[in-house]
């Protein structure tokens, strides 16, 4: 009799626990459904508050402009520095000269690639050029940082060209510099174009830390809207969507150039 009562009580407890778990699960789903209902019901009001009210969309417009401006000019600086460093290292390897310049280039690559871009940005703005405009400091900082990675990309492209190409050029009477400029470098650039395009995309996303030095970039624009409206969902998802659209567009453009290059190689 006692065992039957204990079994019955145990069964009732198990049933109660199962019923409680089911009820809790139902309450969880009800809460999720309720949250989605409230979110989509108030979505229009939230979009109006985040973008239209007080013309807050202009923060995003200015942010996009500054982000693209920094990216374009930093890319130009990065390609210039990277190409120069890669050529110095290539010439030093080929001629066994320019040892001092080669060591300086190695030091530059080690320091820039071994420190975070945010720290480089802060040093550039607060230590090296404290009187300069923040936008100029950001362009210089991101350009110098990108130059180290572009240098390694270009250097790998130069060394990927078959040595027979250079020997053929010199057998035709070309000098070392003419062979590099007319034969080796064009082939290297064609090989590294996808990697350079990827570096441009990476640089675009790295500019999201420019707000550390008070620049109104795209990410900081989202932060300002969030502090004005006390709503983080709309501004940050808009910022992410804008970055995504820009990156997808750049990727399609790069793939178009890659297809054209591949067709020219086949022809």
Average pLDDT value for residue range 255-261: 79
Average pLDDT value for residue range 203-211: 93
What is the average pLDDT score of the chain?
A: 83
Please tell me the predicted confidence (pLDDT) of residue 39: 66
| Domain assignments of the chain as residue spans, ordered by start | 49-266
CA 239 to CA 221: how far, in whole Å? 8
Please tell me the predicted confidence (pLDDT) of residue 266: 63
Average pLDDT value for residue range 130-159: 93
* Per-residue pLDDT band at 12 (split at 50, 70, 90): low
Q: At residue 7, does pLDDT exceed 70? A: no
Average pLDDT value for residue range 197-219: 92
Q: At residue 157, does pLDDT exceed 50? A: yes
Please tell me the predicted confidence (pLDDT) of residue 4: 43
Average pLDDT value for residue range 177-203: 83
Please tell me the predicted confidence (pLDDT) of residue 168: 78
3-state secondary structure 106-145: HHHHHHHHCCCHHHHHHHHHHHHCCCCCHHHHHHHHHHHH
CA 238 to CA 248: how far, in whole Å? 15
Q: Per-residue pLDDT tens for 84-105? A: 999 999 888 877 788 899 999 9
Please tell me the predicted confidence (pLDDT) of residue 267: 59
How much is the CA Rg of the chain, to the nearest whole Å?
A: 29
Q: Per-residue pLDDT tens for 48-77? A: 777 888 888 899 999 999 999 999 999 999
Q: At residue 117, does pLDDT exceed 90? A: yes
Please tell me the predicted confidence (pLDDT) of residue 96: 79
Q: For residue 66, what are the contacts with CB-CB under 8 A and spacing of at least 6?
A: 135, 210, 215, 216, 217, 218
Please tell me the predicted confidence (pLDDT) of residue 13: 46
* Per-residue pLDDT band at 245 (split at 50, 70, 90): very high
CA 135 to CA 155: how far, in whole Å? 30
What's this model's pTM, rounded to 2 decimal places?
A: 0.81
Superfamily of domain covering 49-266: MetI-like (1.10.3720.10)
């Amino acid at each position: 009799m006692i065992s039957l009562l204990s079994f019955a009580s145990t069964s009732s407890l198990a049933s109660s626990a199962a019923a409680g778990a089911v009820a809790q699960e139902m309450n969880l789903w009800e809460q999720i459904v309720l949250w989605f209902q409230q979110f989509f019901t108030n979505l229009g009001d939230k979009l109006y508050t985040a973008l239209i009210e007080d013309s807050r969309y202009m923060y995003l417009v200015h942010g996009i402009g500054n982000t693209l401006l920094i990216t374009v000019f930093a890319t130009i600086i990065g390609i210039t520095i990277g190409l120069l460093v890669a050529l110095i290292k290539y010439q030093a390897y080929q001629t066994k000269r320019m040892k001092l310049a080669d060591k300086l280039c190695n030091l530059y690559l080690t320091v820039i690639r071994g420190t975070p871009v945010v720290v480089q940005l802060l040093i550039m703005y607060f230590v090296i050029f404290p009187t300069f405009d923040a936008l100029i400091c950001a362009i210089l900082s991101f350009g110098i940082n990108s130059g180290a990675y572009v240098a390694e990309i270009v250097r790998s492209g130069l060394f990927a060209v078959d040595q027979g190409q250079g020997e053929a050029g010199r057998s035709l009477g070309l000098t070392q510099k003419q062979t590099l400029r007319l034969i080796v470098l064009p082939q290297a650039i064609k090989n590294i174009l996808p990697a350079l395009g990827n570096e441009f995309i990476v640089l675009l996303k790295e500019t999201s830390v420019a707000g550390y030095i008070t620049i109104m970039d795209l990410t900081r624009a989202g932060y300002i809207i969030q502090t004005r409206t006390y709503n983080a969902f709309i501004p940050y998802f808009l910022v992410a969507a804008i970055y995504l659209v820009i990156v997808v567009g750049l990727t399609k453009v790069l793939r178009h150039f890659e297809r054209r290059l591949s067709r020219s190689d086949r022809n």
